[in-house]
Structure 1
């Protein structure tokens, strides 16, 4: 037969859908030569026993890089919205896929440079919504994306012909690990305290006989009681009302001259005591965390004084829970780790095109419809499937925080001195809200509302203009009165949700990436602004100022993404137009080659308070390495490793401009047209924020791997100003930074990674380095962090894995070595890497040099690397 026939009793069209889902094997391959480098080949193989012919079925898939192809191999290629696309067979053109055969489709203009550019859970469904059910194509269910072919050559993984980046070889990684050899020095605490003075000849030994003095009058708000209880619980010690005469006590004292987050620790061998001094419970909490960290390194502490305070008052982590939802337990675990490393702001990106994630009791449709994704989106009233979530609303991609959930998060955060900043992203990135309000309107008509329930129609979108993420109809219209009623209702409910736990001090209003011209064909805007300019910036500014006024009426401070309050021709909006005394701006879009890296300086000099969220250094959705096997996006820079985060210099923005996104060395004089600008108001740089956008992050394990250990390096820079940041000679600064990073790597590897795994944090494990000597047939092995074990296998025997030390003898005849690193607590594995042995000893030992210097270390080290290698 040439067509599928149903089994007895089954809907014939459903039978077709079921057969395709079970028997169609999908393979995706990036173009592998100069001609095809900017295209993708999709191979559809029919592995069943029946032929697949034309029908009313479609195959749906998600991509962030849409193709310019509209027809291929008898298929129509179409877009639903956002990144959801379909392949529909064309009558009289689709050749069919007979049993046992394959069909190749070529999608032009679709550049794929990493495996995670693809998304799982392709699905097949009928082109009309009927009682039949969509089905996920079995071969694409694998979250590890095994249906995506390996990347074999540079045409596949390079973004552009000028791209200098290549994946690290095992030898590259070996030399990198060796260059960052571990050193132990000073106090083993992250973030590094401001001042430490030790007298090593005198010390105390901490044991279970120690007690904690519980003093009820140290702080006016009495929260020191809670801090002392945290310490007692962690160390397993008793709390007592007063200190013992024979010593062995930890005591909290108050110094009103200290700032709120400042603390001092005195370890006093004579009195056998440890004193934590602060002016508030916050300072006491941070001092407590430092003491806990020291005692986890050793129970012997020297006579010492630690004086510490943060460099920035705002030390934040932004997590996007709209693109992919992460439940409250995952968020609480993040908060717990944040508190260990003295981070104090959790910015939750709660709304975007892909989902509305917080219950608003006054507008229940926001989560009833806006938090769910499914295929039958009009009949079932949900959002379209996004980011590989598949066609079902009970799977990954759907979800929200109930009021109870969110209050639980707030309560947990308050106990750990973390402020939760909610973001309601308007006017762009609002498809979920707009769609949910359309469904609400249908409900009002269907159930004949008595008029007491307000209408919130938020858009009359007629622009046909896509957002940068491919969404149509994703921008709230500033010319509609309902828009402002909607915002007011949201803020009112948010304040109620926070009430009695954390006072809602600040709301983030987003404002970013609104597509130009999206309102200019709106008849409502034309009517409202008939005597004024209808240009994009005028309308957006009207919206931002009016929404800020609503927030001010509610007593709220505001934050915005930089492009939310920036006019491309005039610069930042006048800060005086806002009633708030301070407006926080997240400066993020610093792609150096686009010559917009100085926006943070513009905002600081325009009297805004700036939070540095620079995409080239602090966007943790980017991969750790320039490797197609690594998870993440790479639009701002090809990779962001822990060293790059650690080396970020917040007070000298352009000092961070070393390479562009293709790895080309940046000439600062050319970039800036002369000397690069410096802000005149450094005190307006008030904080840093690491950002975890979640397009490619679908579960808790992936979230933690992308966040850690980079977040530890971020915490170091947000709290501690390193001495090397002030060195003016670049090569001296570079060497000092590397020495400091070695200290950091040693602490992280010896202690902090174990703490993370003990807390259930599945941090990223770097693959091991391998270097082979053909002459002696010795394999040398190392890891980036200490305490990681390495397993190797020889040849193709997958059962021969064995543990190795720093070197091992390789028998003659072996041509391939495979290896992975293993974590010390949970025995988790890194990505497996392979080394192919050749008879060219010189290439085996020297291949590292170019890639290591260009891809890992800034080019100013090139000339001096050989001379100074032993210093490194």
Structure 2
């Protein structure tokens, strides 16, 4: 008889066998369940991916702005199924980007949802979405979505599953076009006018013809063709030299070591030999030194008797600007008059700001931009490296900033990145490695351009905030959080969005990690600059911080001990703390104007900063908003002011008041080259001609009396043209928006024109127009071909065009000389080159023309003119009259 121990042991064996059996069953069931789910997931993934792929290929998107009084503030989106299968309800969404959101939350069976910033989606609603049959279409109406230009819409819509990781997103093929061909043309004023009081209309071909004609002058001699215009030019009549490739450059390294880089650049640019001594039988270029000259001053003497050109300066920078003038002279003609040119810049700060955060531009594009800046004697490149949409510079101590903050990906993927933005499609990335940025710095230094980095804080900081959240997750997962510093930058629970629609985009000034973060960034930047350029100045942004964003912060409440939290007090604390950190690193600071300004009180006391100089970019000058005089306020308060006026110097705005033109238009409807050329930096209110709707401004009403001028003109230290990149996604678009406007900017920031000093407005305007004719002549004859030879795709204005019914003659002109015009008739696809006039055959009902550039044969927009039955002018008059009457009625009804 077995013992109790044996019975217990046998029981254990039986129980163990039973447990083992149960465990095996559970394991088999688990494996089976996993296999079934794996196949199910793969099946679902494959099924959902096939739906996503089908929609991407076969869904045609068409957008049309409202075209009547009742629909003017709406947009219709038509989704057409061009394939052979129905598009049914499913786990998919269509994503698109918009800077002008609608109030519509549901339409045609779709939920209209919002992610962040300007990213929206259309999600089919179960039992409401009826599907889009093969060959069928669906119209979606978005209320309170005012679209006044094609550029209000973005390319690269994409479709994706709304289940995490189930399929890959795809760009909808019909929206890939950068020309936005899926957006219908804007054909009447209800579509392009932003407001019932908006006076702007697109130029007609006839209006453009008259404008082109007004700025052409056949009497211009073009004897001295240099941009920017030198301070003083004295020409000796009837004495000239002929320049050829037998000339030499005299190298005087032992005497003028600072001039060696300039002499070598000149020899390379002109293909000349460098020699140690001038030869009696050859023309020569030589550099001389005069220590009484300031750093950017130079003099050029052209001597016919000795066949010599002498460039005098105090250092390499002045010599460099001298050779740029000489190269410009020789590019236009190899015959140069005997002359003495004395030149120096109007302002020490001649800047260009480029936004590489919204849409990234690689180092090669930046280097090309630096080349062009130096060609026109500009010396400051302000790089907007960070914003909500991307962090674009590698910071070795915090690699997550670019690992996560420079990448965009689909919102429903299990990846750490930012959401897609600004028509980038589901994926995009880009940043400068330390090596890339140092290469940019070296390139800039050789061309006497200082690179000023901008780290935009505390607002516009979503990319940094998200990257640091992801970093913290990584540290927690790897259990290294205690070993490495935390950079959590926000505890935002405010529910307040920025003006661009971004949530949680403001760094919290009450967190210690904020200042640890700033300290690390500055330390790494100084190391990046080391040995190339000295980092003297950092731009901290400071603009557009959403009011009230910190008041609910528990950290801020704790810091202020329960006292009433004031947004401006917290922001001011941040600004001065960051400035102190910068000062500790030996850095001067720059800010956008609203970063150091309190409404109703004015600029912060500049004496509270430890820096010797605080630079401010004065930008927010929409005249009707009563902010145009802030530049004067800052100058009179002791700040150094950089004029960056949005109404004249924001090159992200269109060239014309036309819905076909690229560019945002919130500050002004357009900024053409003449407007930039005519900007008067030392007479701020003289630039206030029209408000943003085109209505004439009464200066007495605007200023409530005589308009003030600054009491501290020396504090106006320069100007900066700004290229924000929301609508600029590639190099072609970048250069089209920058040139030729940047030439007008370079002219104004280097050279003070005589007409700026004239007191009588009419006299000043007439003199300005004559000066602009001279400028346009030089641009057309010389500079545009130089730009194209450098691979720069500048904007080509469309031609002007008129038609006389009595003799059936069309007249054509261009804004710039050197461009030819191509014409076609009616539906004829044949294009022919035409001169200034052409006889139009009988039976032709409409004419189409475009301009062509002289070097790269690039094309302008096509301009069309209806000449059917001679009724064009009467039709135009009738339609405009009707539109005016309808708009007037609309105003009366809504008053």
Q: TM-score, normalised by structure 2?
A: 0.92
Contact 1:184 1:746 in 2 (8 A): no
Q: 1:214 aligns with which of 219, 244, 251?
A: 251
Residue 218 of structure 2 is aligned to residue 187 of structure 1? no
Q: 1:127 aligns with which of 159, 162, 178?
A: 162
Contact 2:652 2:722 in 1 (8 A): yes
* Residue 74 of structure 1: aligned partner: 109
**Any residues of structure 2 matched to 1:530-541 within 5 Å, and which?**
530=561, 532-541=563-572
Contact 1:14 1:133 in 2 (8 A): yes
SS at match of 1:519: coil
* Residue 12 of structure 2: aligned partner: none
Residue 474 of structure 2 is aligned to residue 443 of structure 1? yes
Contact 1:619 1:693 in 2 (8 A): yes
* Residue 630 of structure 2: aligned partner: 599
The 1-side partners of 2:877 and 2:65 are apart by 26
* Residue 811 of structure 1: aligned partner: 841
**Any residues of structure 2 matched to 1:232-381 within 5 Å, and which?**
232-246=267-281, 248-376=283-411, 379-381=414-416
SS at match of 1:104: strand
The 2-side partners of 1:783 and 1:42 are apart by 37
* Residue 812 of structure 2: aligned partner: 781
Contact 1:775 1:841 in 2 (8 A): no
* Residue 865 of structure 2: aligned partner: 835
**Any residues of structure 2 matched to 1:400-479 within 5 Å, and which?**
400-449=431-480, 451-479=482-510
The 2-side partners of 1:392 and 1:177 are apart by 43
Deviation at 1:376, TM superposition (A): 4.3
Residue 821 of structure 2 is aligned to residue 790 of structure 1? yes
The 2-side partners of 1:532 and 1:554 are apart by 33
Deviation at 1:839, TM superposition (A): 4.1
Contact 1:838 1:844 in 2 (8 A): no
Contact 1:310 1:720 in 2 (8 A): yes
The 1-side partners of 2:140 and 2:44 are apart by 34
The 2-side partners of 1:526 and 1:142 are apart by 50
**Any residues of structure 2 matched to 1:653-664 within 5 Å, and which?**
653-664=684-695
Contact 1:7 1:15 in 2 (8 A): no
Deviation at 1:146, TM superposition (A): 1.0
State the Cα deviation string for residues 444-475 of structure 1 (Å, max 9, x = none).
01111163321100000100001000000100
The 2-side partners of 1:450 and 1:357 are apart by 25
The 1-side partners of 2:486 and 2:562 are apart by 28
Pair 311,387 (structure 1): closer, same or farther in 2 beyond 3 Å: same
Q: 2:197 aligns with which of 142, 162, 165?
A: 162
State the Cα deviation string for residues 751-793 of structure 1 (Å, max 9, x = none).
0000000000000000011111111111111100000010000
The 2-side partners of 1:218 and 1:438 are apart by 58
State the Cα deviation string for residues 327-380 of structure 1 (Å, max 9, x = none).
000000000000000000000000000000000000000000000111046621
Deviation at 1:218, TM superposition (A): 4.5
Which stretch of structure 1 is more off in the superposition, 534-543 or 127-136?
Answer: 127-136
SS at match of 2:764: helix
Pair 6,28 (structure 1): closer, same or farther in 2 beyond 3 Å: farther
SS at match of 1:659: coil
State the Cα deviation string for residues 838-859 of structure 1 (Å, max 9, x = none).
44489389989x99xxxxxxxx
Contact 2:844 2:868 in 1 (8 A): no
SS at match of 1:813: coil
Deviation at 1:131, TM superposition (A): 2.8
The 2-side partners of 1:83 and 1:785 are apart by 38
Aligned length: 840
Contact 1:177 1:784 in 2 (8 A): yes
Deviation at 1:670, TM superposition (A): 0.6
The 2-side partners of 1:531 and 1:134 are apart by 48
The 1-side partners of 2:484 and 2:349 are apart by 40
**Any residues of structure 2 matched to 1:409-808 within 5 Å, and which?**
409-449=440-480, 451-530=482-561, 532-798=563-829, 800-808=830-838
Q: 2:420 aligns with which of 365, 369, 385?
A: 385
Deviation at 1:530, TM superposition (A): 2.1
Deviation at 1:47, TM superposition (A): 1.6
The 2-side partners of 1:693 and 1:405 are apart by 22
Deviation at 1:217, TM superposition (A): 4.2
Contact 1:561 1:585 in 2 (8 A): yes
Deviation at 1:185, TM superposition (A): 3.9
Contact 2:94 2:157 in 1 (8 A): yes
The 1-side partners of 2:422 and 2:719 are apart by 28
Deviation at 1:399, TM superposition (A): 0.3
SS at match of 1:793: strand
* Residue 233 of structure 2: aligned partner: 196
Contact 1:29 1:41 in 2 (8 A): yes
State the Cα deviation string for residues 707-762 of structure 1 (Å, max 9, x = none).
00000000000000000001111111111000000000000000000000000000
* Residue 174 of structure 1: aligned partner: 209
The 2-side partners of 1:534 and 1:10 are apart by 50
Contact 1:773 1:844 in 2 (8 A): no
Deviation at 1:9, TM superposition (A): 9.6
State the Cα deviation string for residues 289-314 of structure 1 (Å, max 9, x = none).
00110011111111100000000000
Pair 473,7 (structure 1): closer, same or farther in 2 beyond 3 Å: closer
SS at match of 2:299: strand
The 1-side partners of 2:262 and 2:502 are apart by 47
Contact 2:164 2:412 in 1 (8 A): no
Aligned Cα root-mean-square deviation (Å): 1.9
The 2-side partners of 1:375 and 1:255 are apart by 61
Residue 242 of structure 2 is aligned to residue 205 of structure 1? yes
Contact 1:73 1:105 in 2 (8 A): yes
Contact 1:377 1:383 in 2 (8 A): no
SS at match of 2:557: helix
Deviation at 1:10, TM superposition (A): 6.9
Contact 1:247 1:271 in 2 (8 A): no
Deviation at 1:244, TM superposition (A): 2.1
Contact 1:792 1:820 in 2 (8 A): yes
The 2-side partners of 1:690 and 1:483 are apart by 31
SS at match of 2:664: coil
The 1-side partners of 2:567 and 2:45 are apart by 54
Unaligned runs of 5+ in 1: 852-872
Deviation at 1:223, TM superposition (A): 3.0
The 1-side partners of 2:547 and 2:741 are apart by 35
Deviation at 1:11, TM superposition (A): 2.0
Contact 2:846 2:868 in 1 (8 A): no
Larger radius of gyration: 2
* Residue 83 of structure 1: aligned partner: 118
The 1-side partners of 2:41 and 2:135 are apart by 20
* Residue 17 of structure 2: aligned partner: none
Contact 2:165 2:412 in 1 (8 A): no
The 2-side partners of 1:300 and 1:137 are apart by 57
Contact 2:64 2:183 in 1 (8 A): yes
SS at match of 1:524: helix
State the Cα deviation string for residues 80-115 of structure 1 (Å, max 9, x = none).
000000111112222221222211111111111110
The 1-side partners of 2:163 and 2:756 are apart by 61
SS at match of 1:622: coil
Which stretch of structure 1 is more off in the superposition, 238-247 or 735-744?
Answer: 238-247
Unaligned runs of 5+ in 2: 1-39, 882-895
